[in-house]
Amino acid sequence: MIGITDALIVATFLAVTLAIGLRQKSRSDDGANYLLGGRALTLPAFVATTVSTWYGGILGVGEYAWNHGISNWLVFGVPYYVGALLFAMLLSRRARSAESLTLPHMFERTYGPAAGRCAAVLIFLTTVPGAYMLIMGSLVSLSFGIPQAAGILLTAVFVVIYLWRGGFGAVVRTDGIQIVLMFGSFMILSAALLIGYGAAPLETLPPSHLEPTGGQPLGSILIWYVIALSTLAEPNFFQRAFAAKTPEIARKGLLISIAFWILFDMMTTLCGLYARALMPDLDMPLHAFPALAAKVLPAGAVGIFFAGLFATVLSTLDSYLFTTATTLGRDLWPHKSRLSATAKTRIGLIAGAALASAIALAAGSVVKIWKIFGSVSAASLLIPILTSYYPKFRMSPRGAVLLMAASSITTIAWFAHATRHSGAYWLGIEPLFAGAAVSICIYAADRIIHLSQRHPNASQSEMDRLDNAQSASMPPSEPHK
């Protein structure tokens, strides 16, 4: 899709990214340094890594915008701003103050080892970056003319190499250059479209592309608003909150990040509309953005845009892969192992990259991967996470384990039923809603039983006092060795 000059620009970006990642070396093998960069994220670094990490599915966004128009902003933009705002206001300071190393570590401290292990399994499965590995494989294939499968495997090796040495610090360092290219590439394309074509092409769009729902049933839109609540259970948000220098940086950094996301969504939605207008017969909507750039940009600018696409995807791929690796190395690995946190996480990098590659090779749609894993995460993790930071609403350890197990199994079973019945969900209910219903029922029953057994004769104020006292008596967080 691109010429030699443009391919060289992309290759140069990849080489620079690798060099930056390899220059970063963790100061020691203890958990806080390799897993969280020593908890030293400043506000600019926090914003750069958070903003860039949130947009790895850029080709999926192009696919959706080409198919459904401005509803792209209402599906992949607005609900996630709300989710990020709620996280900033409700959880960011509490997460940083808790001094946890990982999200399962927080579960372990709050609900016990069984809940921590159950949460670790769910987080491991839902953070494996299969969708982003698929997108990177597509980009490598388009840029260098090699099969997509080869592109996926090369991507896995490339990312593992620079994460191996620097850990979380390598993620943050590379995000610095990636966010510049991410925004710069779409600014170039948006300017070229507005100046070179004006508004005339947009008049040829199907009417549904200018409707809020994009011609889809309202229920298909609303499901993404519920899925967006999984932001409150987003491991990468928690990881950055844990790594922030202060609780205030975690809160303020997320609020600033939302403004950047709004700007970026405006540009991607605009480019998606032009892609549909200028290329109505595009065979693969997943390639809407790269095909549009190749069509309207001159040589050199195409290479910069493709480098921006690579940067957007890599910034998310390496973050999710590192989260997957830390979950395996820190939270799923047998606690009695003599290996250091760094050594176990490095083994997790290889295992996570292999699993992500397998998912990418087997999957056909990025949006489908998002929906499945987002639904499982929101249904099973949202209630336990929220209540863990608010003692008066906290579940019992046994109830937390039962909720996570039952709701995730229910959600997965609903998707499996659809796979075997031509996409039809059982009883016509979305999998997320089925899993969420199970979660709510178990939570309500657990609270009733827990409160009646522990405080049968206490007043509500006394029960709140006892719950708060229990929270205050929790042991301080210690890095697991």
Q: Check residue 459 and give its pLDDT.
A: 45
pLDDT digits (tens, 9 = 90+) for 414-472: 988 887 877 788 888 888 889 989 999 999 999 888 777 765 444 444 444 434 444 44
pLDDT digits (tens, 9 = 90+) for 337-383: 778 778 888 999 999 999 999 888 876 555 566 677 778 877 888 88
Q: Check residue 27 and give its pLDDT.
A: 57
- DSSP string over 330-391: IIIS-TT--S-HHHHHHHHHHHHHHHHHHHHHH---HHHHHHHHHHHHHHHHHHHHHHHTSG
**Close Cβ partners of 456 (under 8 Å, ≥ 6 residues apart):** none
Q: Check residue 32 and give its pLDDT.
A: 61
Query: 311 pLDDT band (50/70/90 cuts)?
Result: very high
Question: What residues does each domain of the chain span?
Answer: 4-377
Q: Check residue 470 and give its pLDDT.
A: 43
Say yes or no to pLDDT of 474 above 50.
Answer: no
pLDDT digits (tens, 9 = 90+) for 313-335: 999 999 999 989 988 888 888 77
Mean pLDDT throughout 5-10?
92
Q: Nearest 5°: phi and psi at 41?
A: -65, 120
CB burial string 169-184: b at 16+ within 10 A, e below = bbbbbbbebbbebbbe
Q: Check residue 403 and give its pLDDT.
A: 94
Mean pLDDT throughout 191-219?
88
Amino acid at 247: P
Q: Check residue 460 and give its pLDDT.
A: 46
Mean pLDDT throughout 43-52?
92
Q: Check residue 368 and give its pLDDT.
A: 65
Query: 481 pLDDT band (50/70/90 cuts)?
Result: very low
Domain range 4-377, CATH class: mainly alpha
SS3 277: helix
Mean pLDDT throughout 398-422?
88
Query: 8 pLDDT band (50/70/90 cuts)?
Result: very high
Say yes or no to pLDDT of 168 above 90.
Answer: no
Residue with tokens 């844990």: 242
pLDDT digits (tens, 9 = 90+) for 171-180: 888 988 999 9
With a pLDDT cut of 70, the percent of the chain lying above it is: 90
